[in-house]
Structure 1
Amino acid sequence: MFENKNIKLRKLSTSDYATYHDWRNDIEVMKTTSPQLDIYTLEETEQFISMIASQSASKGYMIEHKETGKTVGIVSLINIDYKNRSAECIIDIGARDMWGKGIGTEAMSLILEFAFNELNLHRVYLKVFSFNERAIKLYEKMGFIHEGKFRQALYRTGKWHDIVIMSILKNEYNQ
């Protein structure tokens, strides 16, 4: 369930802060996923990872590339609402040399399989910046539907951008 031919997911731990810190301070990595572009201290990142790892309403996993053994990203279900069987999904591929190699698709497939078949969720949603066309195409290919947007909610590179809201229901997920 937590691995396929190319990647495996392992539970996020507090010791992952150093790896995540490198990605979190790489503006090129964060510009398409983080609403707040900033430079963080190692202590701030350690506190952030500790908070995520300890929350009961989230499931965070580091993405490891099996061939190289390298940790290449993070995928998580956050804001898990067990009563209404819904969660938000977030993903970052932090290792730039792994961009465009299908890692995001594989990680999303694994986390959706977990969400729908193990946690028995009904709905998984995400937010994506309107200029992140590559991610939007990936989500559409996986069966996510556009639900709406937060209009001009993000100011980036001197312009206003929408934040697109997409979701997939369990019966729409093609395993």
Structure 2
Amino acid sequence: MPFSKKSAVTFLDVAAIPDEIQWRILEWRNSDFVRSQMLRQHLISQEEHGAWLAGQRSGAGGTRCRVAHVDDKPFGVVSLNHIDMRAGNSDWGMYIGEKEFLGKGLGKVLLAEILRWGFEETDLQRLYTSVLATNAQALDLYLKAGFIQEGRWRKHVLCETGERRDLLWIGMLRDEWEAEKSRILQWALSR
């Protein structure tokens, strides 16, 4: 199925999608090109993934995940992690799992969904995440969306190669989202 800039992107809660797609997420997450950019780079077992899915279905654990689809084909994941409603903040994550969808501007769409979901639907006050300092493409994407680099943890991540990498922390506040929302959404749709 050819992808075009006019293709519709939709997001479905992981608990509401077929089992086949729920387990495809494990394949994506364990793929070398996704795993190599993660804070935790170990191969996730079926048992670990099954426990995570059970948490998604029950609503326990403070993490919510949605699967992104283009014209009904699943291709990636967005998540709100460690949701703290009392403090009004959440860590977040995202990745494209299907290689055919890389380089098509969909990272901007995923990021815009995280911001809309976090600030508008979940009513959070702050969204934050970490990114490996070596992942210049992701960092550039996040900064263009309006995130602010807030810190650096030097040599924090031990990669499977034995190399240690710096971890950068970025964040955005609700009032920053509200001030930049129109620009961010227009930017995200300019894929």
Q: What TM-score results when the alignment is normalised by the length of structure 1?
A: 0.87
2:75 to 72, 75, 80: 72
Structure 2 segments unaligned to the other structure (5+ residues):
1-5, 182-191
Residue 25 of structure 1 pairs with residue 27 of structure 2: no
Alignment deviations for residues 46-93 of structure 1 (CA, whole Å, 9 cap, x no partner)? 222222443262221001112xx2111110111111111111111121
Provide the C-alpha distance between the structure 2 equivalents of 1:49 and 1:107, rounded to a whole number of angstroms: 21
Aligned-residue sequence identity (percent) comes to 27
**Equivalent position SS for 1:112:** helix
1:12 to 14, 18, 25: 14
Structure 1 segments unaligned to the other structure (5+ residues):
none
1:145 to 122, 145, 148: 148
Q: What's the counterpart of residue 37 of structure 1? A: 42
Provide the C-alpha distance between the structure 1 equivalents of 2:7 and 2:114, rounded to a whole number of angstroms: 15
Provide the C-alpha distance between the structure 1 equivalents of 2:101 and 2:39, rounded to a whole number of angstroms: 19
CA contact (8 A) 1:27 1:37 kept: no
Counterparts in 2 of 1:1-175, with a 5 A limit? Answer: 6-13=8-15, 15=19, 16-38=21-43, 40-54=44-58, 55=60, 57-66=62-71, 69-156=72-159, 157-173=161-177, 174-175=180-181
Q: What TM-score results when the alignment is normalised by the length of structure 2?
A: 0.80
Provide the C-alpha distance between the structure 2 equivalents of 1:47 and 1:121, rounded to a whole number of angstroms: 26
CA contact (8 A) 1:53 1:60 kept: no
Aligned positions, number: 169
